[in-house]
């Protein structure tokens, strides 16, 4: 398609949502290796300017990237083994001897845990990282969080995987003598986890550099909460709503909604915002500053929690009996701007648009999110229908919490499907492409489409079903599944709607 250069609207762009773990690889899970670099090439050929990923933190209970052992650390699963083979730290034969799971479309996390750490220990034993200037520099630059995280992981192994809430009292309370004792006793295990973080960040920044050099920016994801079972909560208990025995008073979640009649009981510790404010939000400044270095844009999950948050008594079985409490509001982000400058932030503002949330978004100026799938319900008008979009928003067909658009469309109620057919000018030949066109044609400055929607996959490719545990965060696309036709169609859409 040929057009005049002076017609090009440079603020319009588009991109793809795909978690790192959903990439193909030979060893059970997506990594920062060749397939990730190849995917950057796909984005470049398809004229996409953004790659949105999910949190890169090490996963804990339920394998969710939103429940991590550390908000600062990286997931060792994403360390590419072929790159370690190239460094002669491990051999291909050693990798091939391990069972990472046999299904190339789904991750087997139990096998992943056993095999991954086994081969990474071999790499550690063969490394000479302690003599490397780059490693020494990495440790010095990341001292506080790295020391806490590595000691935490070593202690978890020492206490048979238990959360810090169940450790011996003196180390649970971080008594200086106990801290020093365990640093000496667990020195090698601590160094092992430090080595893994060094490998992780070395590989990640190489991938990010390649993406940026090829015109692709990375949108990362920052969960609002940290996990209870985390180095963050253990090392900074004063920042959370804990009692004198460091037990949580209230925990995080959301009230009943369209996803769950019982609400969602996430169980994360809640922040003591008065204490955070008295410390000038220093921990938050460090946290947001860290992700601002990792990514080009930062999507903050559950942004509403900064305006008001749902607090659930710790011993409750579900989320129904919580109460709404006031968050820090603009005060936090005023401090972020003062200390860090203009961090490029996307506010995940899905759900009920309260007055407090609207005021906060207006003060911050951050773009919110619109999801087309939410727009077709009972034939009513909705903020998620493109005619109501503004330029300062990020438009999606669906997110990682939605089913695929193919499955969603296939299961629409008859009246809603009729409305969608008319609204999106859907033909019988390719309804999903017509739905994607509708989002691409909106006024939203940025459009992000989950990759499974471009592949037109069904429910088997769903990434997460909220309020469920066990079958989430597993889907991977297969090698060879991206055709030249798919890339060309995407590039064509990008041209037509002036998003390149």
Indicate the pTM of the whole model.
0.95
Task: Give yes or no: 221 in active site.
Answer: no
Tokens describing residue 218: 């990375």
Q: In the numeric block, which tokens belong to residue 259?
A: 């996803």
Q: Which of 414, 410, 417 is nearest to 376 (CA)?
A: 417
Cβ count near 168 (within 10 Å): 13
CB of 354 closer than 8 Å to CB of 304? yes
DSSP, residue by residue, 92-119: HHHHHTS---S-TTB--HHHHHHHHHHH
User: Would you tell me the crossing angle of helices 282-294 and 143-158 to the nearest 10 degrees?
Assistant: 90
Q: Which two tokens stand for residue 289?
A: 């500053």
* Amino acid 468: pLDDT: 86
Token reading at 103:
């299904």
pLDDT value of residue 259 = 67
Please report, for residues 104, 454, 477, the alpha-carbon distance to residue 16 in angstroms, rounded to integers and kept in the order given. 21, 9, 14
Q: Is 301 a catalytic residue?
A: yes
Catalytic residue of the set 348, 349, 453, 500? 348
pLDDT at 6: 36
Q: Where are the beta strands (DSSP E) in 235-276?
A: 250-254, 264-269
- Nearest-5° angle of CA 140, CA 143, CA 144? 160
Residue 105's nearest CA partner among 17, 30, 202 is 30
- Is 134 labeled as catalytic in the residue annotation? no
Q: Which of 235, 136, 113, 133 is nearest to 191 (CA)?
A: 136
- For position 136, what pLDDT does the model report? 95
Q: Which residues contact 426 (CB under 8 A, 6 or more apart)?
A: 420, 434, 435
Contact 424, 373 (CB under 8 A): no
Residue ranges of alpha helices (H) inside 174-321 are: 176-185, 187-213, 231-235, 273-278, 282-294
Q: Which of 301, 335, 453, 500 is catalytic?
A: 301
Q: Tell how far CA 316 is from the center of its chain.
A: 27
- Per the CATH hierarchy, to which homologous superfamily does domain 5-496 belong? Glycosidases (3.20.20.80)
Rounded to an integer, what distance in angstroms lies between the CA atom of residue 242 and that of residue 240?
6
According to DSSP, the residues that pair with 51 across neighbouring strands are: 16, 218
Computed from CA positions of residues 50, 51, 55, 61, in that sequence, does the dihedral angle turn out positive or negative?
positive
**Parallel/antiparallel/unpaired status of strands 345-347 and 13-17:** unpaired
Catalytic residue among 82, 104, 401, 410: 401
Question: What are the phi and psi torsion angles at 135 (to 5°)?
Answer: -70, -45
Q: In this structure, what token pair is assigned to residue 186?
A: 């667990």
Angle between helices 187-213 and 143-158 (to 10 degrees): 130
CA 194, CA 340: separation in Å to the nearest integer?
27
253: β partners? 265, 310
What are the strands of the beta sheet with 297-300, ordered from one edge? 345-347, 297-300, 217-222, 50-52, 13-17, 446-450, 393-396, 368-371
- Altogether, the residues listed in the chain come to a count of 500
The answer to whether 466 and 264 have CB atoms below 8 angstroms apart is: yes
Within 8 A by CB and 6+ apart from 204, the residues are 32, 56, 74, 78, 294
pLDDT at 314: 94
From first to last of its 500 residues, the chain has per-residue pLDDT tens of 444 333 333 489 999 999 999 999 999 999 999 999 999 999 999 999 999 999 999 998 789 999 999 999 999 999 999 999 999 999 999 999 999 999 999 999 999 999 999 999 999 999 999 999 999 999 999 989 999 999 999 999 999 999 999 999 999 999 999 999 999 999 999 999 999 999 999 999 999 999 999 999 999 999 999 999 999 999 999 999 999 989 999 999 999 877 678 898 999 999 999 999 999 999 999 999 999 999 999 999 999 999 999 999 999 999 999 999 999 999 999 999 999 999 999 999 998 889 999 999 999 999 999 999 999 988 889 999 999 999 999 999 999 999 999 999 999 999 999 999 999 999 878 999 999 999 999 999 999 999 999 999 999 999 999 888 889 999 999 988 988 888 999 999 999 999 98
């Amino acid at each position: 398609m040929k057009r005049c250069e002076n017609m090009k609207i440079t603020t319009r762009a588009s991109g793809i949502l795909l978690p790192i773990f959903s990439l193909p690889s030979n060893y059970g899970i997506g990594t920062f290796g060749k397939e990730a670099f190849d995917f950057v090439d796909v984005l470049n050929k398809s004229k996409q300017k953004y790659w949105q990923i999910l949190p890169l933190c090490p996963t804990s209970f339920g394998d969710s990237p939103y429940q991590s052992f550390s908000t600062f650390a990286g997931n060792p699963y994403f360390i590419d083994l072929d790159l370690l083979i190239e460094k002669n730290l491990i051999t291909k034969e050693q990798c091939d001897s391990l069972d990472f799971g046999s299904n190339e479309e789904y991750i087997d996390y139990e096998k992943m845990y056993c095999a991954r750490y086994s081969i990474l220990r071999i790499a550690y034993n063969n490394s000479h990282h302690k003599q490397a200037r780059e490693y020494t520099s990495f440790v010095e630059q990341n001292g506080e969080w790295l020391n806490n995280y590595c000691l935490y992981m070593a202690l978890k192994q020492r206490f048979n995987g238990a959360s810090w809430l169940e450790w011996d009292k003196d180390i649970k309370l971080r008594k200086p003598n106990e801290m020093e004792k365990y640093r000496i006793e667990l020195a090698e295990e601590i160094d092992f986890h430090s080595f893994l973080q060094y490998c992780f960040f070395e590989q990640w920044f190489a991938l990010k550099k390649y993406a940026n050099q090829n015109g692709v920016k990375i949108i990362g994801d920052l969960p609002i909460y940290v996990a209870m079972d985390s180095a963050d909560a253990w090392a900074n208990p004063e920042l959370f709503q804990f009692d004198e025995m460091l037990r949580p008073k209230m925990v995080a979640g959301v009230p009943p909604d369209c996803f769950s009649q019982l609400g969602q009981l996430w169980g994360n510790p809640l922040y003591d915002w008065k204490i955070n404010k008295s410390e000038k939000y220093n921990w938050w400044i460090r946290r947001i500053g860290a992700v601002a270095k990792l990514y080009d844009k930062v999507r903050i999950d559950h942004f509403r929690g900064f305006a008001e948050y749902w607090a659930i008594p710790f011993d409750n079985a579900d989320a129904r009996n919580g109460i709404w409490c006031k968050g820090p509001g603009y005060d936090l982000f005023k401090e972020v701007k003062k200390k860090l400058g203009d961090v490029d932030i996307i506010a995940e503002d899905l759900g009920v648009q309260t007055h407090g949330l609207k005021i906060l978004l207006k003060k911050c100026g951050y773009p919110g999110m619109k999801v087309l799938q939410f727009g077709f319900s009972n034939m009513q008008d909705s903020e998620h229908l493109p005619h109501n979009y503004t330029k300062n928003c990020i438009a999606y067909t669906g997110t990682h919490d939605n089913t695929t658009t193919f499955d969603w469309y296939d299961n629409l109620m008859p009246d809603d499907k009729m409305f969608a057919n008319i609204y999106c000018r859907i033909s019988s030949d390719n309804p999903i492409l017509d739905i994607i066109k509708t989002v691409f044609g909106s006024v939203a400055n940025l459009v992000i489409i989950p990759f499974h929607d471009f592949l037109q996959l069904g429910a088997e490719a769903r990434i997460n079903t909220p309020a469920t545990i066990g079958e989430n965060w597993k889907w991977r696309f297969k090698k060879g599944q991206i055709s030249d036709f798919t890339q060309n169609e995407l590039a064509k859409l990008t041209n037509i709607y002036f998003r390149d």
